[in-house]
A and B are shown apart, each in its own frame.
Chain A
């Protein structure tokens, strides 16, 4: 089985969110980069678990990003990817990124293309769905469980207030979230092996962006907390009802 795992680089969850160049660019000063947690903990680790059960599985990683994305791709290889492809583009338009991934996907015969449910920076949740349209493949999103049996996948996805199990004939695209697998730490052997695993760099296809970011802004900060004494719960209820008007 061949799996393509989409990997995105995102700022660490504790990174300070600030902007430069007239609020048009994310301020990368001092930012630590990580693999988008949904890509790493859930999608990649589940792919690795599938390979552990069936060692003939190939796990290819793809990232669309500049050379600064290479450390996170090496980390993903250390966790257990077999080889990686970096498409050398810094676009932040989901459509352009999906087109790059689709172009690579078309060259391999992948049974499963996996993404995280969204990235923690742009929170767009677009790539899996876009890939399904470009590649004309079935798509199950927000999956928290996946079993593969021959050419059939059984995928459990989140629905409002519960879960639903879908049976899908491969190839397919799946976006992963919590429940799918558990976070792992790369071991020394993995880190050593990752150094020599293939990491191919390809130039992007020319594709026109459909959107552009004009500006970023920060939400207004809270004006300050109103403290209520623990024995004044009637007062709190009154405030929620009459001042905040939420109950």
Chain B
């Protein structure tokens, strides 16, 4: 059985349990299949929208939320605390292999800004920003990776949309920080303004 050939069937959930298990093991070792699966899975999921979306019974929403609350009854939800001042980082929850830094900030405007940083075990990082307005005219947003020692490294320029996902150039070493500043159009080689956001992995 050539496992490379199972990507489409896996994306459609059309493998038997043992085939799926073998394919998942293969996936751990095959970058090519991981990339192809990401594409085909997205397309397969489009089929979910190809059928009539009947409204679920009202009770389902409450049932899910009640069950969720019962599972984590002792945790204080983030949003019941005050929305925190701009730039204040909420301590990162270190999941098994992914570091997530999350910053929620609120400026004078009512728009809340949420930055989430995801760093995988290889140091590849993504920033997702929501509520970030466009950079001022003639300016750009610039992402930085700031190692524990040594200078900040430019990690990419971006402009903001309603939601912006930025894959950072380079990798984020342990204990490094990720920051975003506003720089002149074209970008800078080192940060020249105070970060509007920073988080430490």
* A and B found bound together: no
- Name A residues whose Cβ lies closer than 8 Å to a Cβ of B: none
